[in-house]
Amino acid sequence: MPKKKVVVIGSGFAGLSAATNLAHKGYQVTLLEKNAQFGGRARVMESQGFRFDMGPSWYWMPDVFEAYFAQFGKKVSDYYHLHRLDPGYTVFFGKDDVMTVPAQMPEIEQMFEYYEPGSAKKLRSFMTQAGEKYQIGMRDLVYKPNRSVLEYASVSLLRNMLKMDVFQSMRSHVYAHFKEPRLRKLMEFPVLFLGATPQNTPALYSLMNYADLSLGTWYPMGGMGEIVKAFVALAEEKGVELIPNADYSLLSVRVLMPHVFIRRKRPTTPMSWLLRAITTTSSKRFCPPRIDSTALLTGKTEPWHLRVFCFILD
């Protein structure tokens, strides 16, 4: 049987991993990237012999990258070399007010004691909770596809949710533990990665402090572009066809998506048969010949808006 064809739009980490997963599952995958370079926000700029990472610079949660490559029987070290930074990073509160955050917990505790006597003990209790949240969060929440609330209907998860501090804000959780303003800022800052504020973020996300202080800050030797190279190499190994300089959002949204859902759901009324005929013709007309328009999908196989469209037309 010929392979089903899928087109993924965008070559950020999301697009690259979706394409690779689909290819691994047996689809024939084409990935379209509007820019000349792959990697999305993690792309690299090179000029006059210098190389600049254009986006991410913090490599946290190395276990997530390891788990990604492990799905395909690979390891991070097959593609790039990771180095744990020590100190992890430096925070500049002002010109002469600098906090250097070490990699190891005993030294981090000493640093906390320096800023606020007695705070090392509080840090230990904070981090024990944060570690539990991280384990539960990664095991029971993060990898769920989020297609239905029923995914979360398990007694153990509901029991664990009580430990997860979802009804307290990150701010009150941090403030209850630490008084020194710079320590409070240090403990609140990882929330910025969620694009959120500590006041509006549940204390569940102290799991980010665990990712920060316990799991550490890492650096892929050669820069963040090495991760993109690794994702691209793995995608190619799986047979994904990667096409740069290809901007197809107009086709996917206006023309091809209706066609996809009509193909996926059998038309039942004269109107839906008519729409199917129109969209089939128009998508064939607008679609580049190398892409089989009947198989065009976005990164996820069944986004909710496709289902809404099905409902309206059928």
Ligand X SMILES: Cc1cc2nc3c(=O)[nH]c(=O)nc-3n(C[C@H](O)[C@H](O)[C@H](O)COP(=O)(O)OP(=O)(O)OC[C@H]3O[C@@H](n4cnc5c(N)ncnc54)[C@H](O)[C@@H]3O)c2cc1C
Please give the residue ranges that form the binding site for ligand X (CB under 6 A). Answer: 9-15, 32-35, 40-42, 55-58, 246-249
Task: Give the burial class of 108: count Cβ atoms within 10 A of its Cβ; 0-12 exposed, 13-18 middle, 19 or more buried.
Answer: buried
> Which C-beta is closer to ligand X: that of 124 or that of 144?
144
Helix (H) or strand (E) holding 156: helix 155-163
Residues 6 or more apart whose Cβ sits within 8 Å of residue 122: 112, 177, 178
Residues 6 or more apart whose Cβ sits within 8 Å of residue 140: 152, 154, 156, 157, 160
Nearest distance in Å: CB 83, ligand X: 16
Nearest to 170 by CA among 129, 214, 231, 120: 129
Nearest distance in Å: CB 13, ligand X: 4
> Which C-beta is closer to ligand X: that of 13 or that of 126?
13
Q: What does the DSSP 8-state code read for residue 99?
A: E
Nearest distance in Å: CB 37, ligand X: 8
Nearest distance in Å: CB 141, ligand X: 18
> Which C-beta is closer to ligand X: that of 32 or that of 164?
32
> Which C-beta is closer to ligand X: that of 41 or that of 266?
41
> Which C-beta is closer to ligand X: that of 103 or that of 310?
103
Distance (Å, rounded) from C-alpha 213 to C-alpha 91?
14
Nearest distance in Å: CB 236, ligand X: 17
Nearest distance in Å: CB 31, ligand X: 9
> Which C-beta is closer to ligand X: that of 204 or that of 224?
224
Q: What does the DSSP 8-state code read for residue 146?
A: -
Q: How big is the CA angle at 136 (ends 17 and 82), to the nearest 5 degrees?
A: 45
Phi, psi (degrees; rounded to nearest 5) at 281: -65, -45
